[in-house]
Structure 1
Amino acid sequence: MDSVLPIRTPDGVAMQPTESEDTSTIRRPLRPAWRLVWLLLVWLVGTFPAPAAPSVPPDRGAAAGDTQQVTLNLKDTDIQALIATVAEVTGKNFVVDPRVKGKVTVISSRPVNQDELYQVFLSILQVHGFAAVPSGSVIKIVPDVTAKQDAIPVVTRRHPGAGDEMVTRVIHVSHVSAAQLVPILRPLVPQQGHLAAYPSSNMLVISDRADNVERIVRIIRRIDSSSSSGIDIVPLQHASAGDVVRILTSLLQSERRGRGGAGVAPVVVADARTNSVLIGGDKSDRLRLKAIVVHLDTPMQSTGNTQVVYLHYADAKKLVPVLQSVVKGQAAKRAKGAVAVQPQDVEIAADESTNALVITAPPDMQRSLRGVIRRLDIRRAQVLVEAVIAEVSADNAAQLGVQFNAAQ
């Protein structure tokens, strides 16, 4: 059996001779040795597997909804070219401000997806003083100084934003004053950012990068905690509440001047009706002031405490027996107490020339007697009576209406 072998050109293209060509020179019988070689080649081709296709990273685009991987390695690249690359990869539309110019350098060791690429892009803009502001279907690339005046998104606690995205957030402060936080937080906000307090609702308004805003929020949450401030009421047994408050006020003022006016000073108020001292402030300050008040509220070593009370309406001489009866009644009530006031320890005298009372008694009895005097020394009820007194004399001449004159 004869076999026809194809003729190969120098280009390697196999050509079959046509019927018109002389095939006598190329038509030759196929020898058995060649048949053996041919069968061996066919067997080898069927035994070895076909070469595997080159592995390509899966394009997680249409099916998985993800993006392709991109490795950024830029050196002194125009920022406009970077914006064009990010727009092509992420599919976002950018409107670039004419003032956005410069060269960027990015060194990356691993590929990133679309979301990571956009966050890297925002960081590059932040480093070069630019910001991306979403506006509908486009994103505006503008300088930082004008970004806060644009329509940047207002975020919430559930959706705080991410990375170097420009955002605005309103933070409600519960326990401290928002106005007091402004000077504390101001150094943490860059010049192109915004920080202001709204005292009416005790809120803070912050415009800055999302990461920095979140950091400031964490700081506020630590500061805005319920403090231990409160009010303590300290009743006095021996000292006068007004005198104790005057001493404490002078002490607190001197301490505040020593600190240069820094810090919040506690407040002390006297309640004359119950002879008590009200202390407001931090827990440590209240404990310190209560210790001072207890030290001042001690009984006097001697019972000689004399006061002069001038009366306006009552009679001092008539009021002395009334007050002595009050002293006896108070002594009887306190007889079972730890500190009893004896009637002989109280002396009450009247000065008729000045209509005044001279009282010698312990401080607590003095306060009790002065309260009784204030209630008794009041204007008495008076009745105004107006009258006209006229003297009338009559005689017979007046009755007749005749007047006689004697002439000489």
Structure 2
Amino acid sequence: MDFPFAISDRQNQVGREDSSQVQMRLSSLLIAAMMMTSAPAVWGQESSDDLVARLVQESQKHAIPRNLSPTDPLFQAESYAAGLAADVSEFNVWMIEIIKAYAHRGDFNSAAYLAKRLPGSGNGLAHAEIAALLAASPGRQSEAESYLKVARKELNQVSGLPAELMRARCALALYYLGRESEAMSLEAELGKLELLSLNTRLHEANLLPAISLLDAKRLLVTLTEQGNDERQARFLLACAQQHFKKGSPELAKPFLEEIGTMAMERGLPTAQRVLLDLARTAHAGGQALLANKSMNLFLKCCEGYSDNAEWKAPFLAAAAEILIEWKRLDEARAWLKAAEATIPKIFVMDAPAAMLAIARQRAKLDGPDSAEPLLLASARAGRSHSHPRFLAETAVRICLHAEAVSTPVSAEVTGILNPADVEVKP
């Protein structure tokens, strides 16, 4: 009811203006338009087509240019992610993975372009991730501030887990930037789990002083919640890594022994997953005996898992990755073969992630061609389920895999993924 009255009042007001006033108002508007578009002094010298082109050019002058090939795997991933848009939360999760992949590539231009377009809490989360990555990049730290500003503003609009994640990433960025007092004010609002994860990241990055095992265990007492065994183990691992980097292996080793005890006492499978990271850390720190013991213990645990456990194949692939790093290639191939044998026995919606985990290590061992059968199988699995979001998620996974191994998605895989109504546009 208010809207028609507003129109009527406006019409009456215009009707009361005499012709000279109307002419003056129109002249002012034309002059302003000419100034905004840099139009020639004589209006008639510019055709309507030229004027439209000039207006379009002006409207785009602040747009972010993107020079990406249609076959760029991350650009393809963006297109496939559109199939997840009906579920805003899931869409944001995968788009942030794509944004982080662009950032790790060094293309912060594309990362920023996408971050600004995410709905809901995704906007703030993406900006917080970019801020943390830039803050950790020597020579680019000054660029982090604009993203940090957006993320901190968005914090006022969200709650729950998105707010926790956003706050933790902002605090991490502030630590990298040397603004500890601001970071600590954000820390004070974090729940125990995210505070523990933040402390892990800070010790990994050597942004907090190294601490003893006793002090670390005291801290864990204050941050312990049910079901966070893996987070506790990863915190201890970060502390051990910090001591190794500082050249103090004698202080690091007790942490690793504590993690091994935790992994075996607290059950399957999450705490035991840390045994792999323990093996990698021990090996890098010159503790070969402990590294081999941890790896063998982890593989023995994996053998005890049922073949229909969805985590078995990815766990074995992760073990193969470390064996490849250690140049134990025959062992890596044997465990990848064992991982592949489990694929027919797991639920179809878990299969693509498992196959891609194996494919990534196959590519390292024997080149990208050796991974192609697994990529084809993954694409077919994505097409086999009736839910369209499953195909979209599988396609995004495949594109992220292609980015990770620096290989384009093959025409054969693309042919399976692309439904008739999806077009990848340049």
TM norm. shorter chain > 0.5: no
RCO higher in structure (CA 8 A, sep ≥6): 2
**The structure with more radius of gyration:** 1
Task: Compute the TM-score of the two structures, normalised by the length of structure 1.
Answer: 0.21
More strand by share: 1
